[in-house]
């Protein structure tokens, strides 16, 4: 599995059904590994838009993509995009049938598809496509709970951090920033300022907050959650106007006059600081669990 390049490896070529370009493949962590890692309720974290499957005759591809595995797979599946999901497991949903099994892909019945698709976060994909997303990004925490919303944000971060950006790219459109990442975090904090806790909903009946990048993207700051703080407009303004710097160790803004303001809502930055958005899930063998019928465009 090589999620940043939308690749994974199989022993056998999927026969029935065969894979069609544009189909969305859900990737599921093998059950025994999920159990060992305490991820039984989070076996799926990514989907891949299927593009092509290629035979690895002599092991060259396996060696190239997985140099540390020391083994060969017969089939390499390439996707055109990686799509993070809300962490979930098919077993948790009340689906019409059991999609478990090794290696062979299964079609998802359309009745089950309706329950699965809201978990797929197209707006946070390696090639964002917000129009395809069923769940409004600004409501993901409300709908799936804060913990799963943050899990999805960290899934996005893994893709972003692992994706090596080519230094010169002329024709391809590259999202300078993905506004949906900020929206996801605002949702996580219920649109409260992480510094002062201010929210507008009570008085104005409106959710409003701003996403501040700690290191400006223009200066090479990464577009990942550990580089974003959710702020009220007052704090956002004064932080820029005063050139306050953010201290990632104490999780506090430090103003030039000596004032320290610690975050009262530090969750995602505290987690990133303490354990980082570690790509542990990606290093585990994943099995191809299921696919949905191809109603998606890949571009």
Distances (CA, A) of 146 to 86, 116, 286: 11, 19, 25
Per CB under 5 A, 232 contacts Zn ion: yes
**x-or-dash pattern for Zn ion, window 191-230, by CB under 5 A?**
--x-xx-x-------------x------------------
Q: Which two tokens stand for residue 17?
A: 């059904």
Min separation Cβ 267 and Zn ion, Å: 16
d(CA 297, CA 129): 10
Closest CA to 214 of 199, 198, 204, 225: 225
Min separation Cβ 154 and Zn ion, Å: 22
Return the exposure string of 180-217: e unless at least 16 CB atoms fall within 10 Å of the residue's CB, then b.
bbbbbbbbbbbbbbbbeebbbeeeeeebebbbbbbeee
Min separation Cβ 213 and Zn ion, Å: 6
Q: Which two tokens stand for residue 190?
A: 């219920």
Pairing of strands 210-213, 252-254: unpaired
Residue 107 near residue 290, CB atoms below 8 Å: yes
Per CB under 5 A, 19 contacts Zn ion: no
Min separation Cβ 65 and Zn ion, Å: 38
Give residues 84-123 in contact with Zn ion (rule: CB under 5 A).
none
Min separation Cβ 214 and Zn ion, Å: 9
Which of 43, 119, 186, 235 forms a contact with Zn ion (CB under 5 A)? 235
Number of residues that bind Zn ion (CB under 5 A): 7
Q: Which residue of this chain has its Cβ atom nearest to Zn ion in the complex?
A: 193
Which lies closer to Zn ion via its Cβ, residue 13 or residue 198? 198
Identify each DSSP E strand in 13-102 by its residue range: 24-29, 44-55, 75-88
Min separation Cβ 217 and Zn ion, Å: 10
Per CB under 5 A, 53 contacts Zn ion: no
Which lies closer to Zn ion via its Cβ, residue 114 or residue 208? 208
Which lies closer to Zn ion via its Cβ, residue 119 or residue 235? 235
C-alpha neighbours within 13 Å on the C-beta side of residue 9:
22
Bridge partners (DSSP) of residue 84 are 46
**Residue span binding Zn ion (CB under 5 A) among the ranges 80-88, 151-159, 188-196, 257-265:** 188-196
Which lies closer to Zn ion via its Cβ, residue 113 or residue 210? 210
Residue 117 near residue 86, CB atoms below 8 Å: no
Contact positions toward Zn ion, by CB under 5 A? 193, 195-196, 198, 212, 232, 235
């Amino acid at each position: 599995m090589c999620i940043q390049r939308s690749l994974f490896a199989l022993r056998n070529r999927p026969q029935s059904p065969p894979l069609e370009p544009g189909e969305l493949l859900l990737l599921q962590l093998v059950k025994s590994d999920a159990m060992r890692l305490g991820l039984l309720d989070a076996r799926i974290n990514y989907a891949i838009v299927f593009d092509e499957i290629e035979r690895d005759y002599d092991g060259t591809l396996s060696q190239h993509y997985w140099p540390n595995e020391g083994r060969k797979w017969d089939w390499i599946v390439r996707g055109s995009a990686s799509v993070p999901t809300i962490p979930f497991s098919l077993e948790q949903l009340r689906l019409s049938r059991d999609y478990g099994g090794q290696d062979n892909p299964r079609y998802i019945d359309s009745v089950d598809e309706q329950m699965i698709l809201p978990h797929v976060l197209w707006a946070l994909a390696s090639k964002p496509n917000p129009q395809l997303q069923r769940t409004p990004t600004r409501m993901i925490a409300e709908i799936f709970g804060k913990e799963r919303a943050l899990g999805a944000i960290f899934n996005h971060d893994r893709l972003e951090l692992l994706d090596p950006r080519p230094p010169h790219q002329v024709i391809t459109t590259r999202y300078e920033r993905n506004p949906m990442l900020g929206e996801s975090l605002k949702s996580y904090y219920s649109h409260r300022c992480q510094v002062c806790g201010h929210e507008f909903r009570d008085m104005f009946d409106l959710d409003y907050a701003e996403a501040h990048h700690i290191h400006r993207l223009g200066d090479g700051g990464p577009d990942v959650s550990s580089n974003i703080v959710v702020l009220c407009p007052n704090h956002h303004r004064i932080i820029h106007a005063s050139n306050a710097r953010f201290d990632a160790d104490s999780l506090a803004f430090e103003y030039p006059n000596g004032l320290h303001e610690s975050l009262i809502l530090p969750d995602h930055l505290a987690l990133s600081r303490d354990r980082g958005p570690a790509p542990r899930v990606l290093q585990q063998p994943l099995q191809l669990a299921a696919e949905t019928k191809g109603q998606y465009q890949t571009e």
